């Protein structure tokens, strides 16, 4: 991934976090703030066709949930969530991981996969968003 793209995603994450802080400082109706759950360690997998030169994908994933109570439920399901994401990332194609459009599609699929696990294990989808805080492709 090129440096400008990484900077763009870093800027967008910082903008989202600062806007959340500004919204929570504002007066008016108290709205519960979002809670973030980091999935550690990083996901590292091969991408590309076996007949071609192998490339590697490293992704750090953070899940946004509505409350700390939901965060506890998500943390309890981390092994199942990580399993689903490992399979999703290892099935990714090179054209998906090297373009912003492909990365967004992969992020959307990751959200679906995580919420499928939560629905199966907890009875309902509890994750509001999936954020890729690091996304590196090495060719």
Query: Tens of pLDDT along 77-111?
Result: 999 999 999 999 999 988 789 999 999 999 999 99
- Given pLDDT bands bounded at 50, 70 and 90, which one contains residue 33? confident
pTM: 0.75
Neighbour tally for 119: CB within 10 Å: 12
What's the DSSP call for residue 33? P
Ordered structural domains, the chain, with CATH: 3-138 (3.30.479.30)
Burial of 85 per CB tally in 10 Å (0-12, 13-18, 19+): buried
Comparing C-alpha atoms, which of 20, 95, 3 is closest to residue 62? 20
- Token digits of residue 123: 């009875």
pLDDT > 90: percent of the chain: 64
């Amino acid at each position: 991934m090129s440096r400008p793209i990484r900077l763009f995603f870093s800027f967008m994450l910082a903008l989202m976090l600062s806007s959340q802080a500004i919204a929570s400082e504002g007066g008016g109706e108290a709205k519960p703030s979002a809670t973030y759950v980091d999935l550690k360690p990083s996901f590292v997998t091969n991408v590309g066709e076996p007949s071609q030169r192998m490339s590697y994908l490293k992704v750090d994933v953070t899940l946004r949930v509505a409350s700390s109570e939901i965060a506890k439920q998500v943390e309890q399901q981390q092994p199942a969530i990580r399993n689903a994401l490992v399979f999703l990332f290892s099935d990714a194609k090179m054209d998906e991981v090297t373009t912003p459009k492909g990365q967004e599609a992969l992020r959307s699929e990751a959200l679906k996969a995580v919420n499928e696990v939560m629905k199966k294990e907890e009875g309902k989808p509890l994750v509001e968003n999936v954020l890729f805080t690091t996304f590196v492709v090495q060719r």
